[in-house]
Amino acid sequence: MKEVQLLKQTLRNIMANHHHPPDDIHRPQWHLSPLVGLMNDPNGFIQFHGKYHLFYQWNPLDCDHSTKLWGHWSSSNLVDWNNETVALLPCQSFDINGCFSGSAVNDNGQLVLIYTGNVMLGKTEAERTAWQCIARQDSHGEFIKQPVIGQLAGYTGHIRDPKVWKHNNIWYMVLAAQDLQLQGKVLLLKSPNLEDWELLGEIAGSTVGDTPAFGYMWECPDLFHLDGYDILINCPQGVKAEARRYLNQYQCGYVLGQLDYATGNYSHQSFVELDYGHEFYAPQTTLTTDGRRLLVGWMGMPDQDEFSQPTLKFGWLHMMSAPRELSLKDGKLYQTPARELQTLRQHHQHLTGCADTLNTLDVPSAELIIQVNGNFQICIANTLWLQCDTQGITLTRQSLSRDENEVRYWDGKVEQLQILLDHSSVEIFINQGLGVMTSRYFPKNTPQLIFSGDANLEVDYWQLNAMSLT
């Protein structure tokens, strides 16, 4: 595979010398985005030998989903990142139509990627099969691939996105699958060695246990233990929109439960959305050595106006969310920006007073913490509108392709907001992270933020520095 190695090195050199044009005003300055082409899911998020590694679904050839390889970034502090050599290219019979999403583990000091090899058998979406594969990193840094799970009886070819973890010296995997009745499921498997896997059964999914019909595919499952619960994150496709929830093309949420490792039985509560904004999908978590559960997500949504985004004309599409820390309080999942991001803060200002009287702020890249007391509105770049009242938050933006507004809701009493902005993205953390709304927006000029309303606000505002990406 000398050619593959040469190709990877060539790509690495091109990446190192890549510069963004200055008129590309939507390019984030401290979030990760693809140098060229389309990125989607975070993959293989892990802290390994003291360094964070974040792989990602990447098509460097075009802004579409036709090719999928694993790009790779690394970081020692979650703020400054390195472009690493591409990790996985679809070049074997078992992954020829894409190295799809998956995870990473530390197997006795060796970094191992576990991913899905997508293999198309015909021209339609349904004519496909999938291999679950491992790729062990050798002493030269190369990933040596091996298919370990083939097509599973009783399921269609839509089987993918293995997330693996170790419990009591045994490896466990959650895997997204679709049964022959076209219902989305999450499977649990176990292995002594990452190579020989035994299917334990379906632990969750549409029509499993108490769950009603809830989608034809549950993509990107992730199961982890946090503060007394085994939390299952998953992304159901095919769920009907309701008046104030499930408003994106596909859903992304979690259930709280208990996994009985002895029986493989998982009992869980009902589905809760993880993010209430316009774009957040396929998140993945990892456990840090200091005991934090971190989550990153794709700030994108498949099949939802993706190709109307104006960054296409600069040859790139989509970005990663900020890393978030997860915690549980009173049976609710909280997400807050990773504390490392505070090192980006510059030029602090403190504003107080009635929203109508507060200064307009420059927010190409900024953080705001707002103590809320009453009703108010925020307008960002005449492109995105946040309305906060006694019911909760309404976030509105103009559709990129239709003459209509796209509105998203968070219901509840708002006490505090922490807002992160980065050129074309906003992440709104409500009440210390009890709710989050993540959305892209595309201002025409350097964005400004205008407050209005009669609420008395107390605002801390920082401009945010750029990350270094080398």
Cα(163)–Cα(45) distance, integer angstroms: 10
Q: For the segment 63-122, give every residue that binds ligand FRU (CB under 6 A).
A: 68, 100-101, 116
Of the candidates 8, 27, 160, 318, which one interacts with ligand FRU according to CB under 6 A? Answer: 160
CA quadruple 454, 460, 461, 466: dihedral positive or negative? negative
DSSP-derived secondary structure letter, 238: S
Query: What Rg value do the Cα atoms of the chain yield, rounded?
Result: 22
Instruction: Tell me, yes or no, if 389 is annotated catalytic.
Output: no
Q: 72: part of which helix (H) or strand (E)?
A: strand 69-75
Of the candidates 179, 219, 306, 427, which one interacts with ligand FRU according to CB under 6 A? Answer: 219
Catalytic annotation, pick one of 41, 95, 161, 222: 41
- Encoded one letter per residue, x for contact with ligand FRU by CB under 6 A and - for no contact, window 269-298 reads ------------xx----------------
Minimum separation from the CB atom of position 318 to ligand FRU (A): 10
Contact between 114 and 105 under an 8 Å Cβ cutoff? The reply is: yes
Residue whose CB is less far from ligand FRU, 219 or 279: 219
Q: Determine how many CB atoms are found less than 10 A away from the CB of residue 142.
A: 16
Q: Where are the alpha helices (DSSP H) in 57-191?
A: none
Residue whose CB is less far from ligand FRU, 131 or 429: 131
Residue whose CB is less far from ligand FRU, 132 or 424: 132
Q: Determine how many CB atoms are found less than 10 A away from the CB of residue 351.
A: 17
Is residue 221 a contact point for ligand FRU (CB under 6 A)?
no
Residue whose CB is less far from ligand FRU, 117 or 443: 117
Cα(370)–Cα(386) distance, integer angstroms: 13
Minimum separation from the CB atom of position 43 to ligand FRU (A): 8
Minimum separation from the CB atom of position 304 to ligand FRU (A): 11
- Encoded one letter per residue, x for contact with ligand FRU by CB under 6 A and - for no contact, window 294-323 reads --------x---------------------
Q: Which of 238, 239, 278, 275 minimizes the C-alpha distance to 254? A: 275
Count of residues in contact with ligand FRU, rule CB under 6 A: 14
C-alpha distances in Å from residue 149, one per residue of 23, 69, 160, 197: 47, 19, 11, 7
End-to-end CA distance of the chain: 27
Is residue 56 a contact point for ligand FRU (CB under 6 A)?
no
Contact between 319 and 425 under an 8 Å Cβ cutoff? The reply is: yes
Residue whose CB is less far from ligand FRU, 264 or 300: 300
Residues involved in catalysis: 41
Binding site for ligand FRU (CB under 6 A): 40-41, 57, 68, 100-101, 116, 160-161, 219-220, 281-282, 302
